[in-house]
Amino acid sequence: MKALVVAVAAVPFASALLVQLFGARLRRGAARVSVGAVALTFVLAAATLALALDGHAPAQFALARQWGILLFDPLSTLMAVVISGISLVVHVYSVRYMAEEPGYARFFVLLDLMTGTLLVMVAAGDLITLLAAWHLIGVLLYFLLGHDARSRAAHRYASWTLITYRLGDLPLVLAAGLLYHAYGTWSLPKIFAAIGTDPRAHAVLGVPLPEVVAALVALAAFARSAQFLLHTWLPYTMSGPTPVSALMHAGIVNAGGFLINRFAPVFVHTADVLPGVFIVGLITALIGSSLMLTQNDIKKSLGYSTMGQMGFMIMECGVGAFALAIFHLISHGLFKGTLFLGAGGVIHSAREDDGVPKDDLYTFVVEKRPANQRRPWILMAAITLAVPVVILMAAHFLVSQDYFQEQGAIVLLFFGWITGAQLIFATYRMRAQNFWRLVVLSVFSFAIVIVGYTLISHAFDLFLYPDASFRRGLFAAADIGAVRFDALVGLVTVSIVAGWVFTYYSEQGRGRRREVRAGRWWSTLYALGSREFFLTDLYTRLARALEAAATRLNVWLRWV
């Protein structure tokens, strides 16, 4: 068993070393070696998952004396399978896609190192290994995104990513320090056991230790999963090759969700950290989805859609449904990875439907269809709002009754619909077909998505957090008063309807007087949206100011 777990993490590193040493001689063979190694890793990971599924007890294997512990538990095996699976697909895709790029062998070495580091992070059983893997991912991602060594712009944008990731490492190191200081050991299972027995034992500056550590871990997760104010790096990673974007959006960006799940035993004993996490996730989901709708190129719109989805995942953690967050990050990973790998096909779909409305003669003579009467937007908005709620309620009767009581679950499933809507926006263009057919289709696929969500998330819950009291503890930790909960649901409903109003405005845009006044307000909002709330400009100016200050400092302190 130990050999299996260690092999899962070791094989990619061995393959990286092999490809680096014999890369020049193997030429295209290097890719085959790398693909074979990742395939082997996937098989091993699947084997460990199979063992975990049929009830093998969680275990840990220490490589070095104090640290280097690899865990074997449901979370690590599941994530190992996901990461090695996606890495396998990206490897096979890159064999031909990157064939013409200089640094072909170097690309596969970096891919293998990244896969190995991710697998180590997922299986990290102690704080030092976790910190090392967490930090190394940021550095490897910088070199993957900056693969085109000729382009200075690619490296400039990649350094945004690296700086944000390093900003995210800082709270994690502080949390590790606090835990080591309080409990004298680096090993996570020991720490979680100690916290379990007596959560209020230690305090930092008057605040109980679990609260502080949970807050710091949440901060680290925010930086890694591009939450609002720390998100500007994600849409600007498109200078990297497409396979890197696919691997990143499917495997790396959602490490924040994994980290919060890993520290679940700490979050259980917190009172007001999770609602804060929920708020941040909510803001990010709304802003990410709205900015996605204003982007003019395919990759940046996918980037912002990922930001929205990561916000949604953090919201799921915020309401206590940790297992659903894991399921969501897996399904979003596959969904986004596919869209990225097929991003070149936009021109093909544009050739079929380039947005030019059908010619009157055509609709009359060939299709004999009545003039496309203007759709009642208000009715359509109401339908796409009401219908999913009905489905949500129906979905509940499929699932056991008590599951329904947790408020968080309701919010969750209500937001399950957002993924459905996100899916609809991303895959079909609303204005292409006629109205009734679209309603039938959307209802049909919402039902599939929501029922799928409910059933599978329940299965994940049973697998990842078997003991029910722990789950209830999580929900308790995330519990916010009933009043604030309803206010939140109302707020989100209003924002979704507002989304429809924006779409209505951007479609109309004709110059009536009432329109002009609204138009001015709407163009201010658009100006804000098109400059992405001025955050990117703010951060660039901040960086430039720091460099100028450093230069001036160097001039004044010339001698010191």
Token pair 């399921």: residue:
327
Sign of the alpha-carbon dihedral angle for 437, 438, 439, 442? positive
CB of 230 to other proteins, least distance (A): 14
Nearer Cβ to other proteins, position 49 or 477?
A: 49
- How many angstroms separate the Cα of 118 from the Cα of each of 63, 107, 180? 17, 16, 23
Burial class (CB in 10 A: 0-12, 13-18, 19+), 347: exposed
Q: Residue written as tokens 């400039």? A: 156
User: Distance between CA atoms of 38 and 12, rounded to whole angstroms?
Assistant: 6
- Shortest Å, Cβ 438 to other proteins: 9
Q: Which is nearer to other proteins, 438 or 474 (CB)?
A: 438
Q: Which is nearer to other proteins, 269 or 328 (CB)?
A: 328
CA distances 33 to 11, 112, 430, Å, are 11, 11, 45
Residue pair 187/126 in contact by the 8 Å Cβ criterion: yes
By C-alpha distance, which of 252, 247, 263 is closest to 226?
A: 252
Residue 432's φ and ψ, nearest 5 degrees, are -75, -55
Whole-number Å distance between alpha carbons of 484 and 281: 16
The packing angle between helices 482-507 and 513-530, to 10°, is 110
**CB environment 253-286: b (16+ within 10 A), e (fewer):** bbbbbbbbbbbbbbbbbbeebbbebbebbbbbbb
Instruction: Give the distance, in angstroms, between the CA of residue 535 and the centroid of all CA atoms in the same chain.
Output: 20
Of the CA atoms within 13 Å of residue 149, those in its CB half-sphere come to 6
By beta-carbon proximity to other proteins, the closer residue of 7 and 343 is: 343
Which is closer to other proteins, CB of 447 or CB of 489? 447
Q: Please, which residue, 433 or 493, has the CB nearer to other proteins?
A: 433
Nearest residue (CB) to other proteins, 94 versus 261: 94
Angle at 142 between CA 137 and CA 146, to 5 degrees: 145
Dihedral-angle region of residue 50 (phi above 0 means left; psi in -120 to 50 means alpha; beta otherwise): alpha
For residue 468, the minimal CB distance to other proteins (Å) is: 27
Q: How far apart are CA 490 and CA 56, in angstroms?
A: 44
Cα of 101 vs its chain's centroid, Å: 28
Within 10 angstroms of residue 531's Cβ, the number of other Cβ atoms is 11
Closer to other proteins by Cβ: residue 228 or 335: 335
Which residue lies nearer to other proteins by CB, 125 or 243? 243
Q: How far is the CB of 329 from other proteins (least distance, A)?
A: 12
- Answer for the pair 300, 235: CB distance below 8 angstroms, yes or no: yes
What is the DSSP-derived secondary structure letter of residue 534? G
CA distance 48 to 141: 27
Q: Which is nearer to other proteins, 249 or 269 (CB)?
A: 249
Q: How far apart are CB 469 and other proteins at their closest, in Å?
A: 31
Structure tokens at 133: 């893997």
**Nearest distance from residue 347's CB to other proteins, in Å?**
4
Please name the helix (run of DSSP H) or strand (run of DSSP E) that holds residue 236, with its range, or none.
none
Distance CA 278, CA 36 (A): 41
Closer by beta carbon to other proteins, 56 or else 431: 431
- Residue 324 CB, shortest distance to other proteins, in Å, is 14
Rounded Cα distance, 556 and 34, in Å: 52
CB of 96 to other proteins, least distance (A): 5
Q: Is 559 exposed, middle or buried (0-12, 13-18, 19+ CB in 10 A)?
A: exposed
* Mode of pairing for the β-strands spanning 203-204 and 207-208: antiparallel
Closest separation in Å from C-beta 388 to other proteins: 14
Residue placing its CB nearer to other proteins in the complex, 265 or 420: 420
Q: Name the residue nearer to other proteins (CB basis): 195 or 264.
A: 195
**Closest distance between other proteins and the C-beta of residue 150, in Å?**
5
Q: How far is the CB of 47 from other proteins (least distance, A)?
A: 19
Give the nearer residue to other proteins in terms of CB position, either 79 or 264: 79
Minimum distance between the CB of residue 342 and other proteins, rounded to whole angstroms? 5
Nearest to 542 by CA among 291, 229, 300, 235: 229
**288 or 320: whose CB is closer to other proteins?**
288
Which structure tokens are listed for 457?
A: 């998330």
Least distance between other proteins and beta carbon 480 (Å): 29
CB of 93 to other proteins, least distance (A): 4
Q: How far is the CB of 79 from other proteins (least distance, A)?
A: 15
